[in-house]
Amino acid sequence: MRIGRWLQDHPRLLERAYRLHHWGFLKARGLLARIGYERVDRWIRGPEELGKRLVFDCRMCGQCVLHSTGMTCPMTCPKNLRNGPCGGVRSNGHCEVLPEMKCVWVEAFERSQRMPLYGKEMLQIQPPLNHQLEGSSSWVTLLAGRTDPPRGWLPTREGKDA
Partner 1 sequence: MTQAYKSDGRLERVLRSGLFAVTAELDPPDSADRHEVYDAALVLSQVCDAINATDASGAHCHMSSVAICSLLTRAGYAPVLQVSCRDRNRIAIQGDVLGAAAMGVDNVLCLTGDDVSVGDQPEAKRVFDLDSIQLLRTIKIMRDEGVFLSGRKLSVKPRLFLGAASNPFAPPHDWRPLRLAKKIEAGADFIQSQYCFDIPRLQEFMRRVRDLGLHEKAYFLVGVGPLRSERAAEFMRGNVPGVHIPDAIVDRLRKTPKEQKRAEGKRICVEIIQQAREIEGVHGVHLMAYRQEELVAEIVEEAGLLPRPRQLGAAGPVRRRSRSRERAAARKSTEP
Answer whether 63's CB lies under 8 Å from 129's CB: yes
Q: Name the H helices within the chain.
A: 2-8, 11-27, 29-35, 37-56, 104-112, 138-143, 157-161
- Minimum CB distance to partner 1, residue 137 (Å): 23
49 vs 96, which CB is nearer to partner 1?
A: 96
Phi, psi of 158 (to 5 degrees): -65, -35
Cα gap 153→136, rounded to integer Å: 22
47 vs 155, which CB is nearer to partner 1?
A: 155
- Minimum CB distance to partner 1, residue 125 (Å): 6
2 vs 157, which CB is nearer to partner 1?
A: 157
70 vs 139, which CB is nearer to partner 1?
A: 70
- Minimum CB distance to partner 1, residue 154 (Å): 6
- Three-point CA angle 141, 62, 29, nearest 5°: 20
- Minimum CB distance to partner 1, residue 139 (Å): 24
9 vs 16, which CB is nearer to partner 1?
A: 9
Phi, psi of 102 (to 5 degrees): -70, 140
User: Which residue ranges make up the site for partner 1 (CB under 8 A)?
Assistant: 78-93, 96-97, 103, 105-106, 109-110, 122-123, 125-129, 131, 150-154, 156-158
- Minimum CB distance to partner 1, residue 38 (Å): 25
Cα gap 62→64, rounded to integer Å: 6
Cα gap 157→116, rounded to integer Å: 21
